Amino acid sequence: MNVRWEHLPQAEWEEFHALHHGALQQAWAYGEALTSLGVTMLRAMVWQDDRLVAMAQFMCKRMLGYISLASCTRGPVFSPEVSPVQRAEIYKRLRQSIPLPRLKVVLFSPDRTADQVDRAETRGMSRVMTGYATVLLDLKAPLPTLKAHLEGKWRNRLNKALSNDKIRVHVQPSLKRCEWLLGKELDQREAKKFHGLPTEFVQAYIAAAADHRQAFVVAYAELGKNTMGGMLFLIHGRVASYHMGWADDEGRRLNAHNALLWEAMAYLQGQGIEVLDLGGVNTHDLPGISRFKLGTGGRAVTLAGTYF
C-alpha cells in the first residue's frame, strides 16, 4: 500500500468521497474551510496497486504543549471491497506515517455502526469514546414512499402546514438567506447558551466549493412579510447534512419546520442527493429535536465510536 500526504488530487478526492457517500467531516471543502479558520488539517490518500482504496482527513491540535492529537472523524472513507484485515493495515500505516512529531495520539471514528465494524479491523485498538448518533434518510425512495414512512403525528403536522395557503416555503442556494439564517443562529446561541462550529465556517465552506450553488441550500418559510423559520443544509457529493435551523413562535405554532424539511427533501432529491444526514440525536438532552428527526422515518444509527 502507498500512503500519500502531500500534493493530493482534489478532483479524485471529491469523486471518491461522493461515490462512497462520505460524511461531511471527510469532504474536501470541510478541510479547506477549517484550514481558513486556522485549524491544522491533514489529508491522506491510500493506493493499492495504483487503485485508490481509502482516504482520511484529520483535524489536528497540540495538547499540553508537546502532544499532537489527530482525529479522523467519521473516517477513513474506504472502498467497499477493502477487507477488515486491509482496513486494519490502513489504520496502522496512517498512524505511523502521519506527518506529526513523535509524541502523537491518532484517533479514528469509523462512519459505521458497531455491527458493521469487524473485530479484525480494530484488532489492537481500544475504543475510547462512545459513538455519535444520527438519523439518515434515503432520498432515493420516491416522495410518496418517504411521506408514507413519516410518523403519523409528524405527517399530520406537515399536511396542516402544507394546506395553509398563507405559508410560502422557498428552497434555494441563496447567499443572502444564508447570511440571514446565520444571524438568527448567533442570536439563539446567545439566548440558549450553546456552542457549535463558528458561523464563519459556513461562509468558508461555501467559498471552498467550485460552485457555491452546489455546496448548500436554505429552506425558509414566509407568512405575509414575516420570515418565520429557516433551515440550512450543507451538500457534499451525493449527501446533504442538516446544519442548523431556526423558527420564531409563529413558525413553531404553524409547524413550519415540518414543511421546511419536507420541501428541502424534495429539492435535494431533485438535485441528485441520495442521502440526507439529519445530524446528532440525543433523546436525553434534546428530546424535542430528537423526536422531530426520528419522526421523519429515517434510519437511526449509532456509530461504532472512537478508537485509539
Q: Which pLDDT tens digit goes with each residue over 133-154?
A: 999 999 999 999 999 999 999 9
CA dist 167 and 79 (Å) reads 44
Phi and psi for 225 in degrees, rounded to 5? -90, 0
Q: How many C-alpha atoms does 184 have within 13 Å on its Cβ side?
A: 18
Phi and psi for 23 in degrees, rounded to 5? -70, 165
pTM, rounded to two decimals: 0.96
Q: Which pLDDT tens digit goes with each residue over 194-242?
A: 888 899 999 999 999 989 999 999 999 999 999 999 999 999 999 999 9
Query: CB-based contacts of 296: which residues, under 8 Å, 6+ apart?
Result: 135, 137, 149, 150, 151, 154, 261, 278
- Decide if 2-125 and 134-302 have a common fold: yes
Q: Any idea which fold 134-302 has?
A: Aminopeptidase (3.40.630)
**Does residue 284 have a pLDDT over 80?**
no
Q: Name the grid cell of 60.
A: 489536528
**Does residue 83 have a pLDDT over 80?**
yes
Q: Where are the domains of the chain?
A: 2-125, 134-302
CA dist 215 and 208 (Å) reads 9
Number of other residues whose CB lies within 10 A of the CB of residue 306:
20
What CATH number does the domain located at 2-125 have? 3.40.630.30
